[in-house]
Structure 1
Amino acid sequence: MDKLDYIKIDSKLSVSKYKQIVNSIVSSIGDGLLKKGDRMPSINAICSRFELSRDTVLAAYNDLKSRGILSAHPGKAYYIESTNVDVEQNIMLLYDELNAFKEEMYNSFIKRINGKANVDLYFHNFNRKIFDYLLRENNYKYTAYVIMPTQFTDIAEIIRELNGKVYILDQLPIELKYRYPAVYQNFDKQVYAGLSEAKHLILKYRKIIFVYPGGKEPESELRGFIRFCKEIGMPFEISSDLVERTPRQGEAYMVVNDQHLVEIVKLARANLLEIGKDLGIISLNDTPLKEVVANGITTISTNFGMMGEILAEQILQKKSEQIENPFSLIVRESL
C-alpha cells in the first residue's frame, strides 16, 4: 500500500490540515501500518496529492520530528524513527558538565518525568562552539530544550531560533530574564545570606579567603562574598588557587570546587591545624561526600534534587514561570 494512502485530509473538519497529517501518521503507527525505518512520502508528494502548501506539510513533519517520531536523512528523505507515539514530549537537556550535584539534579528530573517524556542528555563543557553547534544541530528535533547557558553572552538569538519550548536552568543571564521559563540559582543572594547566617561562626576567625578560580564560576558568587565581608568589616582575600599557600591559624576558607576542598583539607593537616577550630572551611554546593570529609564540611548550597523536580514539573504541566530555587546553610564541624 502506498504510504500516501495512510495520510487522511478532510477539508470539512475544523482540525487544521497540518494537525490532520500528524494525527493520521500517529494513528497509522498505532495501528501497526507504519513501522520503524519506513520511508515516508516526500513533502512534494503530499503537497501534490492534497493540494497543500509546503509550509503546512513541513509544519507537520517538524512536529513529528520534535517528538522523535520522524527523522530527516541526507537528501531530505523522512523515516519513521520511533513508534512510541504515546510520549508527546521529547526533551533535549543541555548541561554544562556532569558532577556530583548536577547528577543529583538529573536523577531527580528523570524520576519526576517518570517515563512521560523521552530525554536526551548533552554536554557543552563550557565550550561556546560546542554549545552553538549542539543547539543548531538539534533544532526541530525536540519539543522542549532545557539549557544551562552558564556565563555565555549574546545567546538570545540562537535560543530564539529553536523550534520548541525553551527552559533555562541553573544560571539565568540578564539577556534571557523574563523571556523563558527557568529554574535558577541566585548566587549573589545565596552566598551573602549563607555567610550572614554563619556570621557567628565566621567571626571566630581573623580573616576569610575565597578561593575563586573564575572562568566558569558565576561572578555573582564573588559579589555576594565581598558584600558580606565589607558589611561586617571582616578582613578578606580572593585567591584563584592554593598554589604556594600556607594556611595559618585563624583563617577561614571558602571554596567553590572539590579539588580546592581536598587541597585545603590536606594543607590544614600538613600544617597541624585543626579544622573547625584553628582553620575554618566552607564549601559551595553540597554533596553526600561532604557529610563525612574531615568530620563534615559546612556548605552553602541550593537544593539540586528540588531543582530537578521543579524543572520536570514545569515541563509536564507546561508552565512558564521563572523560579528561584531555594538554598540553605548546612553547618558541620569544619566551621
Structure 2
Amino acid sequence: MKALKIKESSQPKYKQIVAYIEDQIASKALLVGDKLPSLNQIKEEQGLSRDTVLMAFNELKNRGVIQSVVGKGYYVLSHDIQPTQKLFLLFDELNPFKEVLYNAIIEHLADKIQVEVFFHHFNPTVFHKLIQDSVGLYHHYVIMPGNLENTHLSIQSLPEDKVYVLDQIHQNLTKYAAIYQDFENDIYRGLSSLKDSLENYQRLHLIASQKQPSSLKDGFSKFCEEFGFEYEVHTSLDDQVLELHEAYLVFEDQDLIELIKKSRARGWQLGKEIGMVSYNETPLKEVIENGITTMSTDFYEMGTELVQMIQSGSKKQLKNKFTIYKRNSL
C-alpha cells in the first residue's frame, strides 16, 4: 500500500485523504474487510488536525465505503467508490458553525451523494475560480457567498435550478433557491428581547469585522437609536479599552475570548460590571463564564432544510430560525 502524501494545493486536505483511500480500494491495495490506518496515525504522520481526518472518514462512511467498529477502528465496507451524484458545497470559511451545518447536510442526505467542500475565504478571485472550475461537474451547487459583491456574475454560469444559496442572499441572487439569515431584523429583534438587561449598561458596543454583513450594523444602530442607547461600532478590538458598566456584542470567537481575558484582568464579573453578548451559539458558550448570552441562527436546521429542498426539488426562499439564549453574561 503506497504512502499517503498530503500536499499544499487547492484541494482540501480532507479530500486528499478521501482520494487516497479511494485509490487504494480501486487498485485493490485495500480490500473489503481490511482495516484502515487510525485517525491518530494519519493525524500524527501528516501533521493534520483530528477533525480534518475525521471529516474524510465521515464522508467515506456516509457513502457506505467504510464502516467504523466501536473500539477497533475503521474497515473497508465496499469496493464501490463511485457515488451516483455529487454536491458542490462552497463555504466562506471554516468555523464551528459551518461544521454543524456540514454535519447536518451529511446526516440527512440520501445515500450515494458525494459532498465536496470548498472555501473562498472572502476572496472574490478564489470564489470566481472555484465556481468556474465546478461548471458541469456536479448535480447540485450549494453556495455561501458571504459579503462578496457581484457573485451573481460567477454563479450565472451554473444551471439556475441546481443552485442553492445559503446564509447571505443579495438582491441579485433572489432568483435562486435560498435559506438565509435576515441579519438586520434578527439583530434588532434579538436586542429588543434583551432590552431590559441592556438598560443596566451605559453604552453598547458592536464589534464586527468588515467581513460581516453591513445589515448587522444597520439593525444594531436602528435598535440603539430607537430606544435611546448610546452606542459605538468597531471593526476590531485593536486598542479597544473596556469600560466599566458597558456592554459588548461580538461576532468573532477570538474577540469574545479577548474580552473575557480583559474583564478577568480587571476583576470584573460578566453580567455585573460588564455585559457581553456573542453572535452564533456553540455548546461551549453555554458553560464558560457561567454562560454567555448568545443570539444565533440555527445552522443545524439550515442544513436540514437545505437537504429537504434538494430532495423535494423545492425552489423557495426560506428565512432560517433565529434564537436568543439569555445567560449570566448580561
Q: TM-score, normalised by structure 1?
A: 0.72
In structure 1, the residue matched to 2:321 is 326
Q: Distance in 2 between matches of 1:243 and 1:154?
A: 30
Counterpart in the other structure of 2:276:
281
Q: What is the alpha-carbon distance in structure 2 between the residues aligned to residue 123 and residue 243 of structure 1?
A: 27
Cross-structure match for 2:229: 234
Corresponding position of 2:166: 169
Question: In terms of Rg, which structure is larger?
Answer: 1
Q: What is the root-mean-square deviation of aligned Cα atoms in Å?
A: 1.8
- The CA deviation string for residues 87-119 of structure 1, in whole angstroms up to 9 with x for no partner, is 3x3210011111001100110111010425221
Contact 1:95-1:124 within 8 A present in 2 as well: yes
Letter in 2 for 1:99: N
How far does the alpha carbon of each residue in 1:286-310 deviate from its partner, in whole angstroms, 9 at most, with x for none? Answer: 1111111211110010011000000
Gaps of 5+ in 2: 1-25, 28-78
Residue 162 of structure 1, CA deviation = 1.2
Q: In the alignment, which residue of structure 2 is the partner of 1:203?
A: 199
Distance, in Å, in 1 between the alignment partners of 2:239 and 2:118 is 37
Q: How many angstroms apart in 2 are the aligned matches of 1:246 and 1:130? A: 36
What number of residue pairs does the alignment pair up? 253
Which stretch of the first structure deviates more once superposed, 304-313 or 114-123? Answer: 114-123
Q: Paired residue for 1:127? A: 123
Residues 244/143 of structure 1: CA separation in 2 closer, same or farther (3 Å cut): same
2:89 maps to which residue? 93
Partner of 2:9: none
The CA deviation at 1:249 is 1.8
Q: Distance in 1 between matches of 2:209 and 2:92?
A: 17
Please name the residue that 1:212 is paired with: 208
**SS class of match (1:172):** coil
- The equivalent of 2:241 in structure 1 is 246
Amino acid at match of 1:132: H
State which of 172, 182, 189 in structure 2 corresponds to 1:186.
182
Structure 1 equivalent of residue 288 of structure 2: 293
- The residue identity in structure 2 corresponding to 1:127 is N
Q: Distance in 2 between matches of 1:134 and 1:147?
A: 11
Q: Distance in 2 between matches of 1:126 and 1:86?
A: 30
Deviation, structure 1 residue 124: 1.0
1:247–1:271 CA contact under 8 A, matched in 2:
no
Matches of 1:102 and 1:295, distance apart in 2: 25
The equivalent position to 2:139 in structure 1, one of 128, 143, 156, is 143
Match in the other structure for 2:53:
none
CA 270–188 in structure 1, closer or farther in 2 if over 3 Å, else same:
same
Q: Extract unaligned runs of 5+ from structure 1.
A: 1-35, 38-81
1:236 counterpart letter in structure 2: Y
Q: Report the equivalent of 2:217.
A: 222
Residue type of the partner of 1:176?
Answer: L
What displacement does 1:155 show? 2.2
C-alpha distance in 2 between matches for 1:312 and 1:323: 13
- Consecutive aligned runs of 4 or more in structure 1 exceeding 4 Å deviation: 82-86
Query: CA-to-partner distance for each residue in 1:249-285, whole Å, 9 max, x for gaps?
Result: 2100000100110011111111111111110000101
Percent identity, aligned pairs only? 39
Residue 142 of structure 2 aligns to a residue whose secondary structure is strand
| Residues 83, 113 of structure 2: 8 Å contact kept | no
